[in-house]
Amino acid sequence: MLHQLITRETIVFKDFVSHWKEAIRVASFPLLKLGYIEENYVHAMIHIIDQLGPYVVLTPHVAITHARPELGVNQLSMSLLRLKESVSFGRGKEVHLVIVLAAVDNHSHLHALAELSNLFSREENIQTIIQSDEPEEILSIIRRYSNGVGLD
């Protein structure tokens, strides 16, 4: 499932961004371009973090941003932004990897989210992705954790 959502077309490489809001916009771009989300969804993700703080930083170096499906999701999708230099999400939360999760309901994304969580539970996977400059290297890791593969 995860390998069907994060694809070559939805991975973005950037050395740095000036602000976490820019990180969300850059990470969202592939999904906007593909028509999977609307611009309103990007604004909603930023607004939620403005209101609630950096709750989207689930593990060191990794943020998974999202908003309500009715705020502009057209299709279940994910994108991944890899930053060489971290960006601060506030409160000491430094992030190199920004995942945009666009869910169409409350359940269809849960399997992929579990796979992503398992992948990010290993620090070596996070570091490999941060150091990567090639989509295929990231996709190889993702494939190992898709459909239950890579589970301990």
Active site residues: 66
DSSP 91: T
Interatomic CA distance for residues 111 and 113, integer angstroms: 5
CA-CA distance, 12 to 134, in Å (whole number)?
10
CA–CA separation, 99 vs 126, rounded Å? 12
Burial of 2 (0-12, 13-18, 19+ CB in 10 A): buried
What CA–CA distance (Å, rounded) separates 30 from 108? 21
